[in-house]
A and B are shown apart, each in its own frame.
Chain A
Amino acid sequence: MNRLAGLARDPKIVIGSAITLLVVLLGVLGPLLAPHGEFDIVGRPFTHEGSFLGTDYLGQDVLSRVLYGGRSILLMSILATALGMVVGVTYGVLAAYAGGWVDELLMRTNDVLLAFPQILVALLVLSAVRQPSWWVIVLFVGLAHAPRVARVARGVALTYVRRDFVAAAQAVGEKRWRIVATELGPNLVVPLLAEAGLRLTYSIGLIAGIGFLGFAADPGAADWGQMTNENRLGLLVQPWGVLAPVLVIALFTIGTNLIADALGSHAAQGDS
């Protein structure tokens, strides 16, 4: 109980959650607040016509597109993070708990996968699938996280696998899955939440980056990543077309990273 209370009082958690929540609300409720439609042409391209953020490369309203452009990217980031966490944690905890040659084999395989920077994984898939659907992006961003999550999860699990309380559970004949679920599980929650926060930060960076490179799932649709690419040419005359989505992304990553960092330091303290 007091662990949760301690977390709620940490300023990093408070500020981080506030920022994150703000951006998420912007993404979810944005379409309801937008003064114009997602594809409405409200003026000439790259001018200050339209609402106060001006118009984009087609003359669409930048503010409206920022308000429309959060849902897809936020949802994809969250799904990709969840996928990467599930696959990575399963893999890593399995390796740690199995130990011996199984661990060795799993981790060597993991090392090979780690040799691919995440952006390279994305580009390799994009070279084969030119026009990815949104779930393809979720799939490969998530899978690109998995080996990195696996390494962290294994490390965290290892510190507990060797504790005597696991030996004690084995000595009374507790089933293996039960040991993982009831003895290891509760100890892994906070450190893995910290990792999830970090992964969410990277997910949005990566997915926005894919949009920035011009490989978005739905060309033309409002999307924070894609908008930076569309409006790059107008950076000199109408910077808000690029700056507005970029600032929202920056804000979101700062928020999630604050939460991840606070959770991480709490996990480190709880260990002693």
Chain B
Amino acid sequence: MSTAASHAATPAPSPEPDRRDTAQGRSAGRAWTRWILKRLGLAVLTLWVVSLIVFVATSALGDPVRAILGKDFAVSPERVAQIRAAMHLDESLPQRYWIWLSGLLRGDLGTSIANGVPVSELIGAKVANSAFLVLVVTLIMVPLSLGLAILAARHRGGPIDNAIQVVTLALAGVPEFVTGILLVSLLSTSVFHILPAVTVLPAGAMVWQRPLGLILPVATLVIAVVPYLARILRSTLVETMDSDYVELARLKGIPERLVLRRHALPNTLVPTVQVSALQLAWLVGGVVLVEYLFNFPGIGAALVDAVRNGDFPVVQALAMVIAAVYIVVNLVADALSILLTPRARTEMVA
């Protein structure tokens, strides 16, 4: 043992640079403020570009008046002129965009062409209904996926794992309205007549007052999002269970239960958040077909109606709502990911 034992006696004057970041409370707060401001700026910029695209797609491509009047377009020119004036259609495109955008910024979403009601009034309840639907689906999706992933990872290679893998793989690609139709025909028509096939609400009621009508839409969306999420989480979990630090934990004699809970699961939180956000963002669009199928009084069905009626103020408003939700969900997911990753969290402050 000739290697200079003298070095051990005193704490070694570390020749390696000490990578500790001097994280002070105040500078952490400042770093977070800077990060949030930067991301908010970026989000606003994105939303602005989104508004441009939405406006161009809805206003510039087609002729809304022709769409509204249909056959009347050719026979009543005075109606045409009247509507054109009401919708500022004689102004230039940039001016119309400005009128729309400034209204948007004031919270004025415009007036529905189909029935002359302010758009905000028209979609308010529907946004709440859809938000409730998505919320319920999310609350089921995350624990269910995580549970399936843990179950599969703990029995890796066994029959339980294989069964979960086969079922989730088969379901992962099936379109949501296909699943929905199959569920309807199974549970509310031919085979069993248990659940209502469509959501019928008395005027003014909200969806949560008729929970039975929620079951099929929720089930359809859950089946649409859970398989993919569960598969991703299972593979992350399996990868973590194969990592060096999990092996070390086992070699330290830590019981498997604790290995999973303390060593493996915390390191799968970030992928869980990220992929859940991805699925959540998908859900906001995915509700369209499902709501249409079940006549669910939400933004999806409203969007389809508005598109069919050429009610472009409603289309614009709903498109902006959906894009905004996507942007916010991503922002929150990124912030959570940083908070949950010690490395990202401490380095952001540095």
Contacts and interface: CB of A to CB of B under 8 A. Distances in A.
A20 to B, nearest CB: 11
Contacts of B67: 130
A239 interface: yes
Contact of A117 (B42, B175, B326): B326
A130 B62 contact: yes
Interface in A180-201: 198, 201
B216 to A, nearest CB: 13
B14 interface: no
B295 to A, nearest CB: 11
B217 interface: no
B319 interface: yes
A254 B168 CA distance: 10
A212 B180 CA distance: 12
A221 B107 CA distance: 43
B312 A127 contact: yes
B189 A205 contact: no
A202 B174 CA distance: 8
B332 interface: no
Nearest to A258: B169
B311 to A, nearest CB: 9
Nearest to B300: A119
Interface in A84-142: 108, 111-112, 114-120, 123-130
Interface residues of A, number: 48
Contacts of B176: 205
Contact of A205 (B47, B178, B185, B288): B178
A92 to B, nearest CB: 17
Contact of B323 (A115, A128, A242, A258): A115
B289 A124 contact: no
Contacts, number: 142
Contacts of B304: 123, 213
B175 A204 contact: yes
Interface in B291-343: 292-293, 303-304, 306-308, 310, 312, 315, 319, 322-323, 326-327
Contact of A119 (B179, B285, B323): B285
B57 A117 contact: no
A128 B286 contact: no
A125 B42 CA distance: 26
B172 interface: yes
Given A112-B50, A242-B185, A257-B172, A124 B177 contact: no
B53 interface: yes
B133 to A, nearest CB: 15
Contact of A253 (B173, B288, B322): B173
A243 interface: yes
A257 B181 contact: no
B325 to A, nearest CB: 9
A120 B173 CA distance: 19
Interface residues of B, number: 52
Contacts of A246: 178, 181-182
A247 to B, nearest CB: 8
With a 10 A CB-CB cut-off, give which of B47, B54, B57, B303 has the most chain A CB atoms: B57
A243 to B, nearest CB: 6
A112 B289 CA distance: 23
A8 interface: no
B270 to A, nearest CB: 17
A21 interface: no
A115 B288 CA distance: 16
B182 A250 contact: yes
B81 to A, nearest CB: 22
B319 A120 contact: yes
B244 to A, nearest CB: 16
Nearest to B293: A212
B167 to A, nearest CB: 11
B274 to A, nearest CB: 13
Contacts of B47: 115
Contacts of A126: 307
B23 interface: no
B61 A111 contact: no
Contact of A242 (B169, B174, B181, B292): B181
A235 B184 contact: yes
B46 interface: yes
A127 B57 contact: yes
A120 B285 contact: yes
Interface string A244-272: 00110110011011101100000000000
Given A115-B323, A119-B288, A213-B292, A249 B178 contact: yes
A236 interface: yes
Interface string B168-211: 01101111111101101100011000000100000000000000
Interface of B: 42, 46-47, 49-50, 53-54, 57-58, 60-62, 67, 169-170, 172-179, 181-182, 184-185, 189-190, 197, 281-282, 284-286, 288-289, 292-293, 303-304, 306-308, 310, 312, 315, 319, 322-323, 326-327
18 contacts: A111-B46, A112-B50, A112-B53, A115-B47, A117-B284, A118-B285, A125-B57, A127-B62, A128-B60, A198-B173, A205-B176, A205-B178, A208-B175, A212-B293, A228-B181, A236-B189, A247-B182, A250-B174
Interface of A: 12, 108, 111-112, 114-120, 123-130, 198, 201-202, 204-206, 208-209, 212-215, 228, 235-236, 239, 242-243, 246-247, 249-250, 253-254, 256-258, 260-261
Given A213-B304, A250-B174, A250-B182, 12 more contacts: A117-B322, A128-B58, A129-B62, A198-B173, A201-B173, A205-B173, A208-B178, A209-B177, A212-B292, A215-B307, A235-B185, A250-B179
